[in-house]
């Protein structure tokens, strides 16, 4: 569920997996709100290692490239939808670890590192961090002790350090540690 990605366009599905399942409306990240449920319902998953589709992520109008802090917490609502659907389907116990990883990856790592670090207003950052913390605490008490981050050793350590700084409202230090290496890399490589 958590390692298959939440995009619907990079998968083939049996039609009956979608029975009774719908994309939540009125939110960003609606793919995240249902695709993990479909994956959890699947009895057999096969990986095809061929690029059959190209998706352009550098479009200016893409949600990925927009900073709209009022939409960032839509991730929480989508994850909660997945959580509730998994519980209703009776798949919670077998999916608990993957649900936690899904929440960590999308609500903690992506929302903090890729979204909240771009917010300039300190009050808005505090609000986002508190909502992220409340969301995680309500579903996975003790979650802060876990490190689920991906990447090499240095990248993992950096991600976890910046997350910790943000959770403790040390935004300036977190921003310096997170943004400075990216600026240096961009100056050196142009990417």
2 within domain boundaries: no
**Number of domains the chain is built from:** 1
Give this prediction's pTM.
0.80
Query: Tokens standing for 158?
Result: 């950096």
CA distance 132 to 31: 19
- The closest alpha carbon to 107, from 83, 138, 131, belongs to 131
pLDDT digits (tens, 9 = 90+) for 94-134: 999 999 999 999 999 999 998 999 999 999 999 999 999 99
CA distance 151 to 94: 26
1 within domain boundaries: no
The residue range of the domain holding 124 is 8-189
pLDDT digits (tens, 9 = 90+) for 130-167: 999 999 999 999 998 777 667 788 888 899 999 999 99
């Amino acid at each position: 569920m958590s390692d298959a990605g939440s995009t619907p366009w990079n998968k083939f599905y049996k039609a009956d997996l979608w029975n009774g399942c719908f994309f939540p409306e009125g939110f960003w990240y609606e793919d995240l709100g249902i695709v993990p449920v479909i994956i959890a319902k699947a009895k057999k998953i096969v990986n095809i290692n061929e690029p059959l589709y190209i998706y352009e992520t550098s479009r200016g109008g893409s949600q990925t490239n927009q900073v709209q802090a009022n939409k960032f917490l839509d991730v929480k609502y989508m994850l909660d939808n997945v959580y509730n659907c998994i519980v209703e389907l009776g798949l919670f116990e077998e999916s608990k670890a993957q649900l936690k990883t899904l929440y960590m990856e999308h609500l903690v790592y992506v929302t903090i590192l890729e979204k909240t670090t771009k917010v300039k207003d300190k009050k808005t950052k505090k609000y986002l961090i508190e909502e992220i913390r409340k969301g995680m605490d309500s579903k996975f008490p003790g979650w802060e002790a876990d490190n689920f981050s991906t990447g090499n050793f240095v990248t993992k350590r950096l991600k976890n350090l910046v997350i910790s700084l943000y959770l403790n409202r040390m935004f300036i230090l977190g921003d310096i540690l997170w943004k400075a290496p990216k600026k240096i890399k961009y100056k050196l490589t142009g990417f």
